[in-house]
Structure 1
C-alpha cells in the first residue's frame, strides 16, 4: 500500500492550481507547488525557502495591507478574490491554517480566474455604459429647462470618462462661426467657455473633415503625428488628450436629405474609457434631437414676439419691454411714433401686396436706425424707443430716419417724436409722441381730396425746383412805433409768381405746403433771404431794423431747426437782435416738453420770438404764461372791428394792457388801414402798428431803397 505522505505532494504538484505554504508570523515561504514555481517563472532548483511571501508573490517590501492572516482558522477555508499587480492575474484565494510539526502554517490555494473576470468586467462596463446612456436620455427628456438638462448631461459624461472638461460646440451658419455653448468642468479646472466664442468656422475645419470620414475625432497623449490648428488650439488650453463626436442636423428639405454638421460634443483629458467612444456618439445623437427641439422652441418663442411681415417686435413684445423699462432706472428716453400715410388707399387701389411692401419699407428704415427697440404695434403703426442715450445722438438718428424717408422709403409716414431726461414717465412720453404723430397725420390727410392723395415727395421736389428757379420773392412791410412814427422793424412776407406773372398772396399756397409737410423748405428759404438782405444792408453802411420771419409750427417741429437757423444767421454775419421768429398760436399744439425744448433752443441760440395772429379764431392764454415772447401781434380781424364793435375794443385794450403787465411784451397791431383805427390804438397805448395805412408790403429791393438809409416814416 502506497504511503499517504508520498501521495499528497504528488497530487499537489500535479494540480493546475497554485499552492503555497508560509509562516503567518514571519511571512517566510516554506513550500511552493510546481504550478506556483511556474507562475513565478522560477528556474529549476531555484531556492525559495526562507523568502518572504509578500516580496516573492506581490513584489512588496513590507507585509501586504490586504493580508488575511487574521481571518484564518483550522476549521474552514477563508475564500476571497484579489488582483495580483505583479502577476497581472485575478485569483480566487482559499486560505486555511494547517498544523505541521506542532506549528500553525498558512496554506493558500490560488485559482486563476482572469479570463472570466475580464469577461465579467467587460459585461459590467457595458452595463455601466448603457446605464450612463439611459441616465443621459432621462436627463434630457425629463428636465423642462433645456439648458439645465444639457449641463447635467455633460456632467454625467465628464464623470464617466473622468475628464477635466466636457463640452458642446455649435455652428452659426449665418455668420460662419463656431462657439462653445455648454460646458462642465471638474473641480480645480477653470472654465474655457468665455474664451471660445465666435471662432472662425475655418479654425475647426479639421474636425469637420474627420467627422465626415470616421464620425469621431481623437487626440491621444504623445501622438506626435497629429498636427494642425485644432491640436494647437487644444494645447493652448492645456489639453493633452481629446475625444469628440459630431452632432448632425437632419435637413431633408433644404439640404436634399443630406446631413449638416450642427456641432460636436467632446471631452478633454479623459482618464478612463477612451475605448468607449460609442457612448459619446450615442449621446451626440440624442443631443442633436434636443438641440433641434430647443431651437424650435426658441424659434416659436421668437415668433411669438416678432411681427411676421417685418421682423420687428410685435405688440406683445412691445408691451413686455415697456413693462421691463418701467421697472428699470432710466436716465433718458426717446420715443418715435410712426404711422404710414395712405396705406388703406394703397391697399384699395394697388392691392395688399403693394401695401405690404410699404409696411416693409418703413420697417426697414426703423430697424436700420433704431435696431435696439423697434416694434410694429398695429397695421400701419410703429414705435421705436431710444433708451439711455444722449439727445444729440437721438436727433442724429432722427435725421438719418428722415433722410431714409426722403430718399429711400417708397411711401410717406407721419412721425411723432419726444425725448426726455431725468425723471421719466414712459406712458406720458409715448402718449405725447402719439399726439404729435396725430398732428402730422392730420396735416397729411388735409391733402387728401376726393380719395386722391397728393404726392408729398413730388410736391417737395417741385417746391425746391421752384425756389431755385426764383418763383418766390420776399416782400417787406414796415412796423411803425405809434407814438414816434419811427420804423422800428419789418415783417418778411412771401409772394409766389403765378403762371401769368402775377404775384400770389400766401393764402394761395401756404396752406397747401403746410398740409403736405413741405413748408419748412419755404420757411428756411425766407429766413435765408432775410439774412442775405440784412447782410447787404449792413455792408452798405445802413442801420438795419429787426426783421420778423414767419415760421409754421410744422417747420419748427423739425429736428435741430433752431440750430440750423443759427448757422444760417452766423454764415451771413447777421447780429441776433436783427432777426425775430414769428409763430402763431397753433404752436401750442406741440407736445409741452417739445415746446419747452424749442423755446430753450431759441434762448440758447439768441433768437427772440413773436406771437403772431393773436385773437384769430381762438386765443390760448396759457401760452402767454408758459412762454417768453417779446412781442404779441393783434390779428387784423380785431383791428378791423375797433370802430364799430365795443367788444372788440375791450378785447384789444385788455390785450394791450396784458402785454404791458407781462414783462413789458411789445404790443403790435396788424392791418391798420385808417386814422380812426390808429387813434384808438394810440389811446390804448399800443406800442407798434403795421398795415396799409403806413405802407403796403414792398419787394426787398424797393424796401431797401426807400428805407435803407432813413428810418422816419
Structure 2
C-alpha cells in the first residue's frame, strides 16, 4: 500500500506538470494566433490604404514592401514578425487566393501609375481583395478558436484525470488510515483481553459494562458470575494443559453466544463474568445452560467422558433496589454463585430476597468484625479429643465463637468466610492462638492439669513469611511448652502447594510444634501427602462416617487409611463421631482418638476447665 501511494503521488505530480505545460502552451498559442489574426487584419487595412494613396497620386512603395513581408511570412512562417504557419486548409486556400490577388493589385498599381489602368478597375479589385482578406481573417480566427477549444478540452480532461487521481489517492490514503486505525484498535483490544480465553480482562470488562449500564436501560440487563465446581480436579488429574484447553474453549463458547451490547470477562482461574440482555429473566439461565452444555460436551470428548459441572450466579439489574455500580452487581451475582457451591441443588441461582438477606448479614459482619476483635467479642470453645485406648481426654481442639455484646451467638460459618474474603483471617487465627496460650499459662501457673490444644490456621497464613516466627513469639511470650500446642491446617491447603506446605511444616516442627491435617477425605485426597508432609496427626473428616448406601465399604476405606498412616507413625483422629457403634468400630480398627458429640460437644473455656479439674 505504501509503494502504491508513492507511485500514485508520482503520477499525480507528472499529471500536474503535463497540465501546466499544456496550459502554458495554450496561452502561448493563443498569443500567436492573436498576433497572426492581427497581421492578416493589417494586410486587409494597409492594402486599402495603399489603394487610396495611389488614387490620390501619393505612391507608397515602403508600404508595398511592408505588405510583401507580411504576406511572405504568412505563407512561409519565416520572417521578422514571429507569425505562426497555420496548416488549416480553408485558411491556406484563402491565404493563397489573397496572395494571388495581392500580386494582381501590385500589377494594376504599376499599370495605373503608367496610365494604362483606370481607377474603377483598381477599386473593384481592392473591394474583392478586402472581402478575401476578411475571409482569411475569419478562417484564421475560426482555426484559432478551434485550436483553443481543443486545448481547453484537453485541459479539462487532464483536470478531470488529476481530480480522479487525487480522489483515488485520497481514498487510498484514507483507507490506509482506516486500516491503521482498525489495526491499532485490534492491538488495543488485544491488550485488553485475556491471552488464554480471548475475553476481556476483569478491569476492562468492568469499564465496558459500567458504560453499558450508564447508557441504559438497566431493567433488561443481567450480570452473570460462573465457574466450574471443582476445576482443581481437572488440573490435578489431567494436567494444566488440558485445563487451559477447557478454559480457552469455554471462552470461545461464551464469546460466540454474545449478542449486541453484551460482554464477557475473566476474573481469574476458571471464574468468568458476563453482562447479558434479556426479555424474560428465565432466558438468562437458559442461555448460560446452553453454553455450559457445550463445554461439557467438549470435556466428554476427552478422557473417557470426564467432566465437572459449572456453578452460575445471576443478578438481574432491575431486581436490585440499590443504585449500584458494576462492582455491586458482580458481588451479588458472585454471592448467588456461592450458594451453588454451598449445596444448592440447582446450578443456576438468581439473586433474590433470601440471598439479599444473607448478603446484608455478611455486610453486617463485615462492618462489625474489626470492632469485635478490639472488644474481644470472640471467645474460644474447646472440644476434647478422647483417646480410645483409655477412654479419657488426651487433647482438645480450639474453636472460635462470636458472642456479640447483646449476647447473640454468631456461628463460624457466617463470619469466618467474611474474614477470609477480607484477608483478615490471620488476625482472627492469631487472636485464637493467643487466647489458647493465655488459658494454658493461667492453668500452668495455678498448677492445674493441661492437655495439648490444636489450633486452626487458615490458608492465608501460609503465604505470610513471618507466620511461624509470629506464632513462636506468642508462644514464648506466654512461656508455653511446645508439646502443648498443635498447628492444624486443612487438607485443601496442603494439596494447593505441597512444597510450600512441606517447608512450613518442617519449620513448625523444628520450633517444637506438632502438626496435623484436618478434614482429610473431604476433597480429592492424595495419599502422597502423607509421604511428603512430616505431620504428626491425621484427622479423618466426618464424610467417612456419614450415613451412606454402603457403610461396610466406607469402613473398609477408613480401616485401610488408619493402617497405612500408622506405618508412617502418624496418629489418627476421627471427627464428627456421634454414636457408640462408630466408637467400637474405630477401636477395632486401631484409631487413636475420637472427637465428636458422642463424648463432648464444643464448650466454653470455663466449662472445659471444669471438665479438666474433674
Question: Relative contact order (C-alpha < 8 Å, sep 6+): which is higher?
Answer: 2
Name the structure where strand makes up a greater proportion of residues: 1
CA radius of gyration, larger in: 2
Name the structure where helix makes up a greater proportion of residues: 2
Q: TM-score, normalised by structure 2?
A: 0.42
Q: TM-score, normalised by structure 1?
A: 0.36
